[in-house]
């Protein structure tokens, strides 16, 4: 039975975000869609993050604050937040990000148009062949990612996931920096995905983000890509998946050559590290 306004669980995971968490929570509370619960799970902040969040909790009974006994880290904490959720959908809004007032309403409306879909991604570049929203099958999702505009690079802020699907998938893997990249590959193996436009959420950039140190995780992303393209559950035909890997390998060699011409040691090193992941790819 379809529920007209299903409950959506908005999940905020926090760690030392006293500068931003108030704005993040206020953006959720300003939503035109009102059937939500707001769950904040703090990972042992040493600043006033929890104190600020508690002030909002006292003012709105849709808010629940939880504090971890020990620091779990980014993706395990996202899983912890999901374990408290009771909604049909999970919507992550990081403690330093923002969702527009119409965001939840649009996300739910677009997901409900495709009941056979398990998850959705927004904040995507315009697709010139047809307007958003539209749904992709697992095979179409992999093709769109590797031959189209790309989708697996999106952060959890851009995702909405059915709680049932999240639980069946086992949540995020505990992979620093790349847990979302791995999760999208895994979800897309089995579940249809709805693609949605930009203008729903806002990603804040600042100097305290872990992404600023992403260079050290370059080989992790490459390994995930390879592992899922050679996986037996990969929805692509074997020859197509192999072609993607061969093309990627060739492209990295070209990038290394460009780096040599420009005498850019960091660029050369980064691409050499990525290329080493292909040592067993023929």
**Distances from the Cα of 80 to the Cα of 1, 41, 44, 247, angstroms:** 29, 8, 13, 38
| All residues at 6 or more sequence positions from 81 whose CB lies less than 8 Å from its CB, including other chains | 11, 12, 13, 39, 41, 66, 92
The confidence score (pLDDT) of residue 267 equals: 83
The confidence score (pLDDT) of residue 255 equals: 85
Per the DSSP assignment, residues forming a β-bridge with 65 are 40
Q: Are 17 and 44 a contacting pair, CB within 8 Å?
A: no
**Token couple for 39:** 């769950």
The confidence score (pLDDT) of residue 39 equals: 98
The confidence score (pLDDT) of residue 270 equals: 84
Give the pLDDT of the chain (282 residues) as one tens digit per residue.
456 799 999 999 999 999 999 999 999 999 999 999 999 999 999 999 999 999 999 999 999 999 999 999 999 999 999 999 999 999 999 999 999 999 999 999 999 999 999 999 999 999 999 999 999 999 999 999 999 999 999 999 999 999 999 999 999 999 998 999 999 999 999 999 999 999 999 988 766 656 545 566 788 999 999 999 999 999 999 999 999 999 999 988 888 888 888 888 888 888 888 888 888 776
Q: Are 107 and 122 a contacting pair, CB within 8 Å?
A: yes
d(CA 162, CA 154): 17
Q: Where are the alpha helices (DSSP H) in the chain?
A: 21-29, 49-59, 74-83, 103-112, 138-147, 163-169, 179-190, 218-230, 238-262, 265-276
Q: Which of 63, 121, 90, 77 is nearest to 9 (CA)?
A: 90
Q: Which uninterrupted H or E stretch holds 124?
A: strand 117-124
The confidence score (pLDDT) of residue 1 equals: 45
Phi, psi of 27 (to 5 degrees): -65, -35
d(CA 21, CA 170): 27
Q: Are 192 and 111 a contacting pair, CB within 8 Å?
A: no
The length of the chain is 282
Q: Are 153 and 125 a contacting pair, CB within 8 Å?
A: no
d(CA 160, CA 105): 12
Global pTM value:
0.92
Question: Computed over its alpha carbons, how large is the radius of gyration of the chain?
Answer: 20
d(CA 64, CA 57): 6
Phi, psi of 146 (to 5 degrees): -95, -15
């Amino acid at each position: 039975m379809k529920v007209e306004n299903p409950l959506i669980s908005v999940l905020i995971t926090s760690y030392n975000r006293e500068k931003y968490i108030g704005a993040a929570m206020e953006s959720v509370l300003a939503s035109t869609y009102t059937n939500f619960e707001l769950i904040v799970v703090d990972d042992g902040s040493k600043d006033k993050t929890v104190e600020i969040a508690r002030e909002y909790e006292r003012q709105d009974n849709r808010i629940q604050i939880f504090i971890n006994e020990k620091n779990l880290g980014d993706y395990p904490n996202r899983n912890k937040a999901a374990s408290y959720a009771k909604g049909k959908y999970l919507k992550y809004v990081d403690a330093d990000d923002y969702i527009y007032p119409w965001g939840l309403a649009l996300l739910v409306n677009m997901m409900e148009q495709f009941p056979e879909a398990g998850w959705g991604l927004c904040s995507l570049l315009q697709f010139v062949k047809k307007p958003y929203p539209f749904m992709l099958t697992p095979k179409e999702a992999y093709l769109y990612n590797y031959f189209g505009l790309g989708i697996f690079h999106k952060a959890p802020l851009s995702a909405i996931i059915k709680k049932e699907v999240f639980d069946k998938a086992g949540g995020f893997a505990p992979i620093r920096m790349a847990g979302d990249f791995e999760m999208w590959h895994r979800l897309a193996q089995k579940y249809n995905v709805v693609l949605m436009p930009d203008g729903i959420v806002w990603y804040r950039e600042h100097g305290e983000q872990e992404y600023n140190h992403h260079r050290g995780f370059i080989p992790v992303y490459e390994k995930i890509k390879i592992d899922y393209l050679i996986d037996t559950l990969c929805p692509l035909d074997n020859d197509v998946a192999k072609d993607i890997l061969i093309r990627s390998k060739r492209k990295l060699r070209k990038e290394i050559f460009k780096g040599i011409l420009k005498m850019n040691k960091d660029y050369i090193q980064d691409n050499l590290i990525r290329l080493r992941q292909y040592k067993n790819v023929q």
